[in-house]
C-alpha cells in the first residue's frame, strides 16, 4: 500500500446519499434530476476524466458527431436549438450549459477514478474507493446508493483486432477513440477499416484533405441519408414559437415517427429493407454496386442505423474522393493491406474504426458483504438493477432510440424509489426473482437475433443475464418503458427492502452545497 493510500484509509470517508459514477450525458442528467427532484438529498458525481462529456470528450476524431437527432438525444428539460445531427463540440457545449445553468459543477469531482465498491448490509452503505488522477491519492466515500452512469465501453482504448503483419506496415495505425493530435493526413492515402457510424463520419470529414480514402468493410451496414434539418422545427422557429415548445413538439414527432419505423422494421422487415436500399441507391453514382457494398446481410434495426447528414458519405463517393471496398483482410503489408481477394490496398495511414471494448459497470470490482460480485451470475431487472446487488442502478440507454431518453425516465424511477425508501424507513433494496421465477431460463443480456453489434457479441458472456420474462431484461423499448416505469408498484414482491442489521449511527450526509 502506498503512503497516500495508507493515509486515506485512516481518514473518515466522506458520505453522500447518492454517488453518481461518471459525468457523461447520463451522469450530468442524473445530477440535474437529483438537484431538481430531490434537493433535500446530498450527492456527488465522480468522474475519472479531467472534464465532463464522457463519449463526447473521449472521441476527438475528425467530424465526430451524433448519429441520432439532438431533439431526442438532448434532455427533455433543455431545448435543443441547433441542427438535428450535432458535432461533438456542440453536444459538449449543450452539456456545459446544463451544468452551468443548474449549478452542478460543485457536485462533480473530476480525476476521480473509482477503483472499488464494497457493500455492507450491517450499515446499508457502499464504501467506494477512488484514485485521484492529479495527486495519485486514494480517497474513500460512503453512500447509500450508487447511480451507475459509467457508460458501456472502456474509455482508455478502443478495440483493434490483431491482424497478421501489423508490425510490418510502415505508416501509423490509429484508432478513432484515441485519435492522435499530430496525425497528418494531408495528401495521404487513407484506409478506414469498418463501416459503422464512426467510419461513415470520418470518411467524408477527411475526404477533401487526403489523396484518397477507402472505407474497407468485411460486410455492409445500413445507412440512412437525409437532410440535416427539421422542417417542423424550422417552421415553428419561423413562427417565433417558444424554444421549449419547439423542443417538446419536435421530440414528440420524432419519437412517434421512430416508433412507427421500429415497428415496421420488425413487422415488414423486407419492405423497410427495400426502402432503405432504394434511398441509398439514389444517393450513389449510376452503376454503383449497391448489392455488394451497401446491402447488409442482416435485417434493419438489428444494429444501430447510422444517419448520414446531407448524404455527405455518398457525396464523397460521387466526387471520387472516397471509395468502398468489401473484402476481408489477409494481412497488413509494408505499404497497405493485402486482401483475401488478392488485391492490395495501398495506404499511408490506416484507421481502425473497429469499435470498442465493452465494460461491465466500469470494470469496477464490486463486493457485497465481503463476497466479490460476478455480474454474469446475476439477473437484471429491466436492465437497471441486478439480483443480489443492493442499492445500485445502471443507466444503460437505448440503441434504437436516443440513449438519453432513458437517462430522464430512469431518473424519475430511481428518485421515486429513493423517496419511497425514505418514507418506509428502510435503507436497503434489491430486486430479486419471485419464488415462481427462480427456475426461469437465464438468457444472454441481449437476444442476438434482436440486436447484435460486435462489441456486445464479443463480451456478452460477461454481462448480467436476462430472464425469459420481459421484466427481467432490457427491452430496448422506450415507447413501452415511458408508460411502464412510472406505473411500477414499488411494493411489488420483486422489491426486497431491509434496514441495517447492525445498530449504527447513520452517517452525516454532507450538505448538498458542500459537494
Interaction site with ligand FAD (CB under 6 A):
21-27, 46-49, 54-55, 59, 66-68, 73, 113-114, 149-151, 155, 198, 362, 364, 395, 397, 402-403
Q: For residue 231, how many other CB atoms are within 10 A of its CB?
A: 10
Least distance CB 507 / ligand FAD (angstroms) = 21
CB closer to ligand FAD out of 258 and 311: 258
Q: What distances in angstroms separate CA 395 from CA 20, 427, 474, one per listed residue?
A: 10, 21, 11
Least distance CB 407 / ligand FAD (angstroms) = 7
CB closer to ligand FAD out of 21 and 393: 21
Q: Return the bridge partners of 495, or none.
A: 431
Q: How far apart are CA 427 and CA 390, in angstroms?
A: 10
CB closer to ligand FAD out of 22 and 296: 22
Per-position DSSP letters for 191-223, written without gaps between them: EEE--SHHHHHHHHHHTTTSSEEEEEESS---E
CB closer to ligand FAD out of 199 and 421: 199
User: Residue 45 in 3-state DSSP?
Assistant: strand
Least distance CB 395 / ligand FAD (angstroms) = 6
Least distance CB 58 / ligand FAD (angstroms) = 7
CB closer to ligand FAD out of 358 and 364: 364
Q: How far apart are CA 427 and CA 124, in angstroms?
A: 6
Least distance CB 86 / ligand FAD (angstroms) = 9
Question: Strands 392-394, 108-109: parallel, antiparallel or unpaired by DSSP?
Answer: unpaired
- In degrees, rounded to 5, the angle at the alpha carbon of residue 186 between the alpha carbons of residues 293 and 89 is 80
Q: How far apart are CA 377 and CA 364, in angstroms?
A: 16
Q: What distances in angstroms separate CA 165 from CA 168, 169, 353, one per listed residue?
A: 5, 7, 18
Least distance CB 55 / ligand FAD (angstroms) = 3
Q: How far apart are CA 303 and CA 296, in angstroms?
A: 11
Q: What distances in angstroms separate CA 439 from CA 80, 325, 387, 442, one per listed residue?
A: 47, 48, 14, 9
Least distance CB 149 / ligand FAD (angstroms) = 5
Locate 109 and state its grid cell: 469531482
Least distance CB 455 / ligand FAD (angstroms) = 10
CB closer to ligand FAD out of 25 and 34: 25
Least distance CB 449 / ligand FAD (angstroms) = 22
Least distance CB 269 / ligand FAD (angstroms) = 22
CB closer to ligand FAD out of 112 and 321: 112
Helices (H), 132-211: 197-206
Contacts of residue 478, defined as CB under 8 A and 6 or more positions apart, other chains included, come to: 255, 398, 400, 401, 405, 406, 409
CB closer to ligand FAD out of 356 and 381: 356
Nearest to 206 by CA among 227, 229, 179: 179
CB closer to ligand FAD out of 79 and 196: 196
CB closer to ligand FAD out of 86 and 379: 86
Contacts of residue 198, defined as CB under 8 A and 6 or more positions apart, other chains included, come to: 61, 176, 353, 355
Q: For residue 319, how many other CB atoms are within 10 A of its CB?
A: 12
Amino acid at each position: 500500500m502506498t503512503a497516500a493510500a495508507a493515509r486515506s484509509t485512516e481518514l473518515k470517508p466522506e458520505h453522500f446519499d447518492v454517488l453518481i459514477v461518471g459525468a457523461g450525458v447520463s451522469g450530468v442528467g442524473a445530477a440535474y434530476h437529483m438537484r431538481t427532484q430531490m434537493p433535500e438529498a446530498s450527492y456527488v458525481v465522480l468522474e475519472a476524466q479531467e472534464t465532463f462529456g464522457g463519449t463526447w470528450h473521449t472521441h476527438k476524431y475528425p467530424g465526430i458527431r451524433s448519429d441520432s437527432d439532438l431533439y431526442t438525444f438532448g434532455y427533455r428539460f433543455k431545448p435543443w436549438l441547433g441542427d438535428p445531427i450535432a458535432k461533438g463540440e456542440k453536444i459538449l457545449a449543450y452539456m456545459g450549459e446544463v451544468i452551468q445553468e443548474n449549478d452542478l459543477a460543485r457536485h462533480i469531482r473530476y480525476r476521480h477514478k473509482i477503483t472499488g465498491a464494497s457493500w455492507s448490509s450491517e450499515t446499508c452503505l457502499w464504501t467506494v474507493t477512488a484514485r485521484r488522477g492529479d495527486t495519485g491519492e486514494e480517497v474513500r466515500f460512503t453512500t447509500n446508493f450508487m447511480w451507475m452512469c459509467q457508460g458501456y465501453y472502456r474509455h482508455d482504448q478502443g478495440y483493434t483486432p490483431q491482424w497478421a503483419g501489423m508490425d510490418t506496415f510502415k505508416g501509423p495505425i490509429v484508432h478513432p477513440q484515441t485519435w492522435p493530435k499530430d496525425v497528418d493526413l494531408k495528401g495521404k492515402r487513407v484506409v478506414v477499416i469498418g463501416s459503422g457510424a464512426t467510419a461513415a463520419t470520418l470518411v467524408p470529414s477527411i475526404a477533401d484533405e487526403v489523396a484518397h480514402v477507402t472505407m474497407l468493410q468485411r460486410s455492409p451496414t445500413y445507412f440512412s441519408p437525409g437532410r440535416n434539418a427539421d422542417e417542423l422545427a424550422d417552421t415553428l422557429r419561423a413562427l417565433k414559437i417558444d424554444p421549449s415548445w419547439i423542443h417538446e413538439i419536435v421530440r414528440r414527432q420524432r419519437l412517434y415517427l421512430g416508433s412507427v419505423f421500429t415497428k415496421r422494421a420488425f413487422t415488414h422487415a423486407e419492405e423497410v429493407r427495400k426502402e432503405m436500399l432504394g434511398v441509398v441507391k439514389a444517393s450513389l453514382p449510376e452503376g454503383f454496386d449497391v448489392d455488394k457494398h451497401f446491402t447488409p446481410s442482416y435485417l434493419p434495426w438489428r444494429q444501430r442505423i447510422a444517419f448520414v447528414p446531407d448524404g455527405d458519405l455518398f457525396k464523397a463517393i460521387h466526387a471520387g474522393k472516397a471509395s468502398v471496398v468489401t473484402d476481408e483482410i489477409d494481412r497488413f503489408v509494408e505499404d497497405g493491406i493485402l486482401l483475401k481477394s488478392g488485391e492490395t490496398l495501398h495506404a499511408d495511414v490506416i484507421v481502425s474504426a473497429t469499435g470498442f471494448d465493452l465494460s461491465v459497470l466500469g470494470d469496477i470490482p464490486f463486493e457485497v458483504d465481503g463476497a466479490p460480485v460476478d455480474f454474469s451470475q446475476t439477473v437484471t431487472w429491466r436492465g437497471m438493477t441486478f439480483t443480489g446487488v443492493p442499492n445500485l442502478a445502471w443507466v444503460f440507454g437505448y440503441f434504437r432510440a436516443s440513449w438519453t431518453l432513458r437517462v430522464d425516465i430512469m431518473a424519475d424511477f430511481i428518485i421515486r424509489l429513493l423517496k419511497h425508501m425514505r418514507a418506509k424507513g428502510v435503507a436497503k433494496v434489491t430486486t430479486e426473482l419471485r419464488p415462481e421465477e427462480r427456475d426461469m431460463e437465464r438468457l444472454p443480456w441481449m437476444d442476438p437475433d434482436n440486436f447484435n453489434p460486435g462489441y456486445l457479441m464479443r463480451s456478452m458472456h460477461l454481462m448480467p443475464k436476462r430472464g425469459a420474462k420481459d421484466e427481467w431484461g432490457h427491452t430496448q423499448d422506450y415507447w413501452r418503458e415511458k408508460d411502464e416505469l412510472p406505473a411500477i408498484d414499488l411494493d411489488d414482491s420483486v422489491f426486497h427492502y431491509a434496514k441495517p442489521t447492525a445498530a449504527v449511527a447513520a452517517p452525516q450526509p454532507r450538505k448538498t452545497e458542500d459537494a
